Amino acid sequence: MFSSHFYSAFFLSFAVFGLIACSGETTNTTSEDITGIEEPVVNPPIPNKSTTITLSWLPPTEYSDNTQLTDLAGYKIYYGNTESSMNKTITINNPGLSSYIVENLTTNNDYYFSITTFNSKGIESVFSNVVNKTL
């Protein structure tokens, strides 16, 4: 199934561009505790909008047996709304890339990402660590 020689460790990170919803900290203080201050107004949720996430990784240079990696052909990005359902795939047929912008993601959703490599024979590595982001 998987080549025991294929590099299996990645460092996967991401940057988010677009609209991000943030909420402030809450305390146990009420308006009765502080005179002259009204209760805060809670803004309505931000409507779903399309945004992007930029994933970046360190390309592998060695097989798992520490020999030089010579036939890296590309990457596959797996993602979805839960770690157990990363059923969307993006194939990158350029082994020279070390980042990718995932587009058309909607705000107010969780996203989980993992990446694999594949060689010129189509043999795919194990999954990288999973990263997640709530937009």
3: closest CA among 63, 53, 62, 44? 63
Residue 48 or 97, more confident: 97
Q: Per DSSP, which regions of the chain are E strands? A: 12-17, 50-57, 72-80, 88-92, 99-106, 110-119, 131-134
Residues 29-72: tens digit of each pLDDT = 333 443 444 444 455 555 667 788 899 998 888 888 888 888 99
Least confidently predicted of 24-38, 88-102, 110-124: 24-38
Ordered by start, the domain boundaries in the chain are 12-134
What share of the chain in percent tops pLDDT 70? 64
Q: CATH assignment of 12-134?
A: 2.60.40.10
Contacts of 127 (CB under 8 A, 6+ apart): 78, 114, 115, 116
